Amino acid sequence: MKKGWKWALISVGVIGAGVGLYFLLKPNESKWDDDFSDDDDDNTSHTPTTYIDNSFPLKKDSGDVNQSVKRVTALQKYLESQGAVLNGGADGKFGPSTEEAVETYIDTNGKVSETFYNDNVKSYE
């Protein structure tokens, strides 16, 4: 094989490998991913599907969003007074951290009844 062809083929191989690695490692910037993403990190005006209901029993995905009585926030303040450490503090969103604290400090399978709330938590409203 001639020396010129050999270097040409090596160059094409190196360039091809570089282009392939680029497309494998670059972040996905697809327009479709942004339009149909389930992430709530952006400030769009879509209606949330969680944290909008704080009726009893209080449970995972309960929340104080658009509620006049802040039951989940009061529950979180109660849990903190019992020694629980919640990710996000008393943010009014009954997420995994609050659920774990309820199971640990109240022992009710992750749910809070109206009776327990009125007897123990209501003063934190």
Write out pLDDT tens, residues 51-83. Answer: 999 999 999 999 999 999 999 999 999 999 999
pTM above 0.95, yes or no: no
Write out pLDDT tens, residues 77-105. Answer: 999 999 999 998 999 999 999 999 999 98
What per-residue confidence (pLDDT) applies to 108?
Answer: 77
Residue 39: pLDDT over 70:
no
The Cα 98–Cα 87 span in angstroms is: 8
Q: Supply the mean pLDDT for the chain.
A: 83
